[in-house]
Amino acid sequence: MIVKNKGRGTLVLVFVYIRSLASLRSSRRRRIYVLDSVASTRHHSDASWPLSSLHYGGKTGSNLVTFILNKLSFQDDARVQLSKVILFHKRSTYELRAIEFRDSRFIQLLEQEHMAVRSVKKSHSEHTSTLEKLSQELKARKISFKTITRSSLNHKIENIDLLISVGGDGTFLDASHYLDTVPILGVNSALSTSFGHFCLTNENTFGCVIDNIESQKLPMVNLMRLTVFLNGQALPFLALNEVLIAHKNPAATSRYIISTKSHQEEHLSSGIWIATAAGSTGSLRAAGAQVLPITSRQFQFFVREPCIRPGDKKQLLRGTLDEGEEIKFISQMRQGTIFVDGQHIEYPFTVGDEVVLKASNVDLHAFVDPQVNKRFLC
């Protein structure tokens, strides 16, 4: 931080690497001016003073920085230059089964125009068209990008300005597992077959959305995620949507002990959902739970098909927990399983294993519609 004396007041020029939501968490050196002059500083003979020497209104050091940042206005062109981007995309069912694996049964159904595969070719065509259009839009804006397929990603994504998920909600969820600080934008690549709840844009509106991101007209949203602890160890993937705890065989009974800060009880059921606000419109809603705003800092649990004997009174069949709370399960199953955001990520949950779920301290930074969950409240 550099402080320059300007007569009776003080003009503070702050040079920082800002990792903020407003600047896409990209490290860019910006010159910032204080709107209100700081009337009181400790005096030094030179023009540049250390951070610890500053004081104003009873605030010093880092506390003063926080105060100053609340009174700042960016004096640059108020634009963010996207210089490095990743296009993270799925591979269509048609590409995988008909072209790569040459699945004879699948090809036969396609040739027969069977109703089971009627939409496959159309969605494949839409997907490839979307990828081509996105590439053109990025090239036209001189934005450097790299293409990565959904199945090839196996490491954290860092040191880029934006990850663009091209597919549907499944692709978006998969991408989220490899992101901590990098923001994500979802593009629905097959409007005829994909709902794309997390997808803010499609090939028709993509260019406009990118322009709004660069001009900072489109704010990011922080989405709360869940951390899953298995026997005291945090599992590597954070849950953006939901966690399902159930028997590995869907026809078998799920047996577990559930505990919150105030209650504990044994359950027999088809499993239990634990979902974030972002995931409250999916399986949780289908089961009968409440839809929360996507920006809510609460999460819910909901038991699937509880087995309740005559006279039983269960208190933990459903509930809403605040960000600072946690929920615990002890397995009574030999083949219990923990599913994170669908079927692709699973962990064994055998007899005596203990699982604790609570809000993660690492949000997902996403360009989504903050009102998107309202469509389910009609």
Q: How far apart are the first and last CA of the chain?
A: 51
Give the SS3 label for residue 250.
Answer: coil
Domain ranges for the chain, please list them. Answer: 2-74, 84-218, 226-364
Residue among 263, 257, 271 at smallest CA distance from 330: 257
Q: Residue 207's pLDDT is what?
A: 97
Copy the structure tokens of residue 31: 């010159």
Mean pLDDT of 71-98: 78
pLDDT tens-place string over residues 307-342: 999 999 999 999 999 999 999 999 999 999 999 999
What confidence tens digit (pLDDT) does each residue in 348-358 have?
999 999 999 99
Strands 84-89 and 144-149: parallel
Residue 195 in tokens? 């709902």
**Average pLDDT of the segment spanning 91-113:** 94
21-30, 135-144, 186-195, 282-291: segment of lowest average pLDDT: 21-30
Which one is predicted more confidently, 36 or 192? 192
What pLDDT is recorded for position 81?
85
Query: Which of 9-18, 62-71, 94-103, 114-123 has the lowest average pLDDT?
Result: 9-18
Q: What is the pLDDT of residues 152-177, one digit of tens each?
A: 999 999 999 999 999 999 999 999 99
Residue 151 φ/ψ region, left for φ over 0, alpha for ψ in the -120 to 50 degree band, beta for the rest? alpha
The per-residue pLDDT of the chain, averaged, comes to 85
Q: Choose among 342, 377, 376: nearest CA to 169.
A: 342
CB-side neighbour CA atoms (13 Å) of 207: 11
Q: Where are the alpha helices (DSSP H) in 70-144?
A: 93, 104-111, 120-140
Q: Which range is least confidently modeled, 5-19, 98-112, 214-228?
A: 5-19
Band the pLDDT of 9: cuts 50, 70, 90. Answer: very low
Q: pLDDT > 90: what percent of the chain?
A: 77
pLDDT band per the 50, 70, 90 thresholds, residue 82: very high
Q: What are phi and psi for residue 319, nearest 5 degrees?
A: 180, 165
Query: How long is the chain?
Result: 378
Which CATH code of 2.60.200.30, 2.40.10.120, 3.65.10.10, 3.40.50.1000 fits the domain covering 226-364?
A: 2.60.200.30
Helical axes 120-140 vs 206-214, angle rounded to 10°: 40
Token pair belonging to 181 = 């600080």
- CA torsion, points 126, 131, 137, 139, in degrees to nearest 10? -150
Q: What angle do CA 280, 220, 212 make, to 5 degrees?
A: 125
Report pLDDT for 63.
Answer: 60
Measured distance CA(236)–CA(181) in Å, rounded:
16
Return the residue matching tokens 């919150």.
260
Among the CATH numbers 3.40.47.10, 3.30.1330.200, 3.40.470.10, 3.40.50.10330, which is that of 84-218?
3.40.50.10330
What's residue 80's pLDDT?
74
Residue 353 · residue 333 · CB < 8 Å: no
Residues in Cβ contact with 227 at an 8 Å cutoff, skipping those fewer than 6 apart = 234, 235, 238, 357, 358, 359, 360, 361
Indicate whether 46 pLDDT > 60: no
Upper half-sphere CA count for residue 102 (Cβ side, 13 Å): 0
pLDDT at 53: 52
Q: Are β-strands 299-304 and 271-276 bridged in parallel, bridged antiparallel, or unpaired?
A: antiparallel
240 exposure class (CB count in 10 Å sphere: 0-12, 13-18, 19+):
buried
Q: Tell me how far apart the alpha carbons of residues 361 and 12 are, in angstroms, rounded to a whole number.
A: 32
User: Considering only CA atoms, which of 73, 66, 62 is closest in space to residue 11?
Assistant: 73
- Give 88's pLDDT tier (boundaries 50, 70, 90): very high
**Poorest-pLDDT segment among 22-26, 82-86, 269-273:** 22-26
- Decide: helix, strand or coil at residue 119: coil
Whether residue 38 has pLDDT greater than 50 = no
Q: State how far the Cα of 206 lies from the Cα of 185, in Å rounded to an integer.
A: 10
Residues 6+ apart with CB under 8 A from 80: 23, 24, 26, 28, 161, 213, 214, 215, 216
- The confidence band for 62, taking pLDDT boundaries of 50, 70 and 90, is low
Residue 375 tokens, joined: 């469509």
**pLDDT interval class at 59 (50, 70, 90):** low
Say whether 177 sits in a helix, a strand or coil.
coil
**pLDDT above 70: percentage of residues in the chain:** 79
- In a 3-state reduction of DSSP, which class is residue 289? coil
Residue 36 has pLDDT above 50, yes or no: no
